[in-house]
C-alpha cells in the first residue's frame, strides 16, 4: 500500500487546507468511462433511503444511499448500524484502482445518489471511531457538478469556508487531520442540475468501536 507520493506525472492537485490534507484529481476518470460508470451504478446499486438523526429526531436522509463492503465492515452511522451489501465486480475493480491512486486500502464504500439539486448532505465529518483518527477517504464524483464545502470545526467565518466544485470523474482525497479539524457538506442548489453519484471509499475497523 505504501506512501502517498504526489509526482508531477499524476493529476493530484493539493488544496489549501491548514492542518489538514486534501488533494483533488479533477479528471481522474476519462469522460466516456465516467459516463459508463454513472449509468451502470445508477441502474445496479440497490438505492435506499437511510434514516438519520438530526437534533435527536430521526428523519429520511435527503438523498439515496447504499453501504457496500466486506462482510465485517459494519458501520454505525447516525446511531444506525449498517451491514454492508456485497461488492459488485465493477465496484471491487474501482476500489482497487482508487486504492492505488490514493496509496491506501479500502474495505467499504458509501454510495450516495443526489437525484437533483434538492438532494443534499448537511455539515458533518467522517469521524466515527471505526474509521480511526486519521482516515484516508477517497471520494469519487460522477454526474452533475456540485459544490462541496469544508469549514473548520470551530470558529469558522465565511472566509474560512473552502468550496470545491466536484465534477464528473473527479477524485478527492481527504487524509491527515481533515476529519478531526473540519466538517464538510454538500448544499442544495436552486440550479437545474441532473443526478450525481458520489462514492466515498473508507477503511472500517469494527473492533475500534
Residues of this chain that bind ligand AKG (CB under 6 A): 110, 112, 121, 126, 139, 148, 166, 184, 186, 198, 200
Which residues between 111 and 140 bind Mn ion (CB under 5 A)? 126
In the bound complex, what is the minimum distance in angstroms from residue 22's beta carbon to Mn ion?
13
Which one of Mn ion, ligand AKG, none interacts with residue 109, CB within 5 to 8 A by kind?
Answer: none
CB of 143 or CB of 198, closer to Mn ion: 198
Q: Is 185 among the residues that bind Mn ion (CB under 5 A)?
A: no
CB of 2 or CB of 115, closer to ligand AKG: 115
Set of cell numbers at residue 206:
469494527
In the bound complex, what is the minimum distance in angstroms from residue 124's beta carbon to Mn ion?
6
Sequential DSSP letters for 133-194: SS--EEEEEEES-EEEEEEESSS--GGG-EEEEE-TTEEEEEETTHHHHEEEEE---SS---
CB of 9 or CB of 81, closer to ligand AKG: 81
CB of 126 or CB of 128, closer to Mn ion: 126
Alpha-carbon distance 174 to 138, whole Å? 6
The answer for residues whose C-beta is within 8 angstroms of residue 134's C-beta and 6 or more apart is: 175, 176, 177, 179, 180
In the bound complex, what is the minimum distance in angstroms from residue 5's beta carbon to Mn ion?
25
Alpha-carbon distance 134 to 150, whole Å? 16
CB of 34 or CB of 166, closer to ligand AKG: 166
In the bound complex, what is the minimum distance in angstroms from residue 137's beta carbon to ligand AKG?
8
Which one of ligand AKG, Mn ion, none interacts with residue 110, CB within 5 to 8 A by kind?
Answer: ligand AKG
Which one of ligand AKG, Mn ion, none interacts with residue 108, CB within 5 to 8 A by kind?
Answer: none
CB of 12 or CB of 201, closer to Mn ion: 201
In the bound complex, what is the minimum distance in angstroms from residue 202's beta carbon to ligand AKG?
9
Tell me which residues touch Mn ion (CB under 5 A).
Answer: 126
Amino acid at each position: 500500500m505504501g506512501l502517498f507520493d504526489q509526482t508531477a506525472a499524476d493529476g493530484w492537485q493539493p488544496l489549501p487546507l491548514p492542518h489538514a490534507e486534501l488533494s483533488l484529481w479533477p479528471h481522474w476518470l476519462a469522460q466516456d468511462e465516467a459516463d459508463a460508470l454513472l449509468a451502470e451504478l445508477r441502474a445496479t446499486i440497490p438505492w435506499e433511503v437511510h434514516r438519520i438523526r438530526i437534533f435527536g429526531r430521526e428523519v429520511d436522509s435527503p438523498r439515496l444511499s447504499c453501504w457496500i463492503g466486506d462482510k465485517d465492515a459494519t458501520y454505525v452511522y447516525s446511531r444506525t448500524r449498517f451491514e454492508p451489501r456485497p461488492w459488485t465486480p465493477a465496484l471491487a475493480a474501482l476500489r482497487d484502482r482508487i486504492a492505488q491512486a490514493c496509496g491506501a486500502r479500502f474495505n467499504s464504500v458509501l454510495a450516495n445518489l443526489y437525484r437533483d439539486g434538492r438532494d443534499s448532505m448537511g455539515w458533518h465529518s467522517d469521524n466515527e471511531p471505526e474509521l480511526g483518527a486519521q482516515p484516508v477517504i477517497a471520494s469519487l464524483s460522477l454526474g452533475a457538478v456540485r459544490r462541496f464545502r469544508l469549514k473548520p470545526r470551530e470558529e469558522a467565518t465565511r472566509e474560512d469556508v473552502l468550496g470545491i466544485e466536484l465534477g464528473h470523474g473527479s477524485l478527492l482525497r481527504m487524509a491527515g487531520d481533515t476529519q478531526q479539524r473540519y466538517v464538510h457538506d454538500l448544499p442544495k442548489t436552486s440550479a437545474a442540475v441532473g443526478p450525481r453519484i458520489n462514492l466515498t471509499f473508507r477503511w472500517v475497523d469494527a473492533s475500534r468501536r
